[in-house]
Amino acid sequence: MAQISAAPAVSPTVGAAPDADTVVRTILFIGMYLAVWISFHPFQSLAEPPQTVTEAGDRVNQVAFSALFLALATWTYFHEPRRLLLLVRPIMVVALLWCAASVIFSWEPALAARRLTFTGMVMGMAAMVLLLPKDVRQFSDMMAAVVLIVLTLCYLGLVLAPQLTIHQATDFVEPEHAGDWRGIFNHKNMAGVTMVLFIFVGMFVARARSFGLGALIVVLSSVFLGFTGSKTAIGILPLTLILSAIVTRTRRPALAIALVLVLLVGFNLCTVGSIYFEPIRHLVEEFLPDPTFTGRTELWEFAVEHVMQHPLIGYGFYAFWGTEEVVYALGGSQPWVNAASDAHNTYLNLAVTIGIPGLILTIVWIVVMPIVDFYRRPADAPATPLQVLFIRVVLFGVYSSCFENSFFQQLDSVWFLYITAAFGLRYLSVTRVAA
């Protein structure tokens, strides 16, 4: 951000028109987040068969987000672009170079190169968006506006177009979700994780700007979350709140990092590990009504098998699922594998596409280092509302990724806010701004 500070900005004169610079910042910020959360294909009908697998990508998204990138880059060029260098760190460079190496050795190098380029563009936009708000108050106001717009569209959709905002028994895929709310999103799980992010934003707004406005966002998001029926989002939310409370109250970063990583390993042992370790499988069968995690175990087993075949460099950056080799050859007669767009586990997805070393580098960069950055504030300074928002987003992304694919997504509501939060914690740590 231009000038990050926990202190409220001086209130403008009542009735005074905003200056042109503020208007441009606001349009770019709100436009960017609306493009991510609403997308350019909202209110999709699920009654039709899914589109045929294609490697060409979505032209509308490519053009629209390229235009947004150019707009943000132009603005940043005239507003101290060297500030972006503060976000660059050695582990980030090494991780991205490893991703690039996976492109070279990929079985689909052109596809992997396009996806890495677009992912880099999205990450660049997340970094530049951080520079738009002049202070925490403006960041809070703009984020609250975006969230309320999305929530309004979701609730209006329930009334005006329920067939496009609520899963139906006529859905071509997964008709068993009939009755679950999805709003403007194309799946209840995406709606669920987004509502959790909105709850975090509401809690931030309540502390940094207006308790009433923040409470309104929390209530609206919580109600919608409950009706999505998204077990992952509903289950990870309380864990994130408890863990973030522990992290923000301890001054021992090594303990916090160890706790986060131990829980992460534990989550993956209880999920992916249940396929291979009989005691864990019996434990899962004892306590969960669906020990297959809604069919994910089949995908996980398939992914682990192919990680072992290419453990070093993987199959190429996001060039595995949905390719002709998987859909028509490797997947064989397994419908779930043939139709899958990812492993429904970020860490397996990374291992199969950029290899185990790439997975480790990524975890260090965007799981461990954001926590390290959080603890770089002065020892006697309390965590600011902005830092708390960012660490909650990071922790939620870390654990929800055990069941969904989030990291390095080209267009994903969790990934965009996640990488923004990771960059935000880095920026706050290196600028040494006092609370």
- Sequential pLDDT tens for the chain (435 residues): 554 444 444 444 445 567 888 899 999 999 999 998 988 778 777 777 655 544 455 677 778 888 999 999 999 999 888 889 988 899 999 999 999 999 998 888 888 898 899 889 999 999 999 999 988 899 999 999 999 999 999 999 999 989 888 888 887 777 777 888 988 988 888 899 999 999 999 999 999 889 999 999 999 999 999 999 888 899 999 999 999 999 988 888 889 999 999 999 998 888 888 888 888 888 887 777 777 776 677 788 888 888 888 898 888 888 877 776 766 655 555 655 666 667 788 998 899 999 999 999 999 999 999 999 998 876 656 668 999 999 999 999 999 988 887 888 766 778 999 999 999 999 988 875 433
Any domain includes 53: no
Distance, C-alpha 66 to centroid of its chain? 20
Q: Which domain holds residue 141?
A: 130-229
pLDDT of residue 135: 87
Give the pTM.
Answer: 0.88
Domain count, the chain: 2
221 vs 216: CA distance, rounded Å: 8
Does residue 337 share a domain with residue 195? Answer: no
Tell me the two tokens of residue 424: 């935000």
Q: Is the dihedral of CA 369, 375, 378, 384 positive or negative?
A: positive
Any domain includes 54: no
pLDDT of residue 39: 80
Distance, C-alpha 72 to centroid of its chain? 20
Does residue 321 share a domain with residue 292? Answer: yes
- CA distances (Å), 248 to each of 233, 243, 330, 424, in order? 22, 9, 46, 16
Does residue 250 share a domain with residue 348? Answer: yes
Q: Which of 229, 262, 297 is the last residue of a domain?
A: 229
Does residue 191 share a domain with residue 158? Answer: yes
Does residue 255 share a domain with residue 210? Answer: no
203 vs 213: CA distance, rounded Å: 10
404 vs 331: CA distance, rounded Å: 20
Alpha-carbon Rg for the chain, nearest whole angstrom, is 21
Does residue 377 share a domain with residue 327? Answer: yes
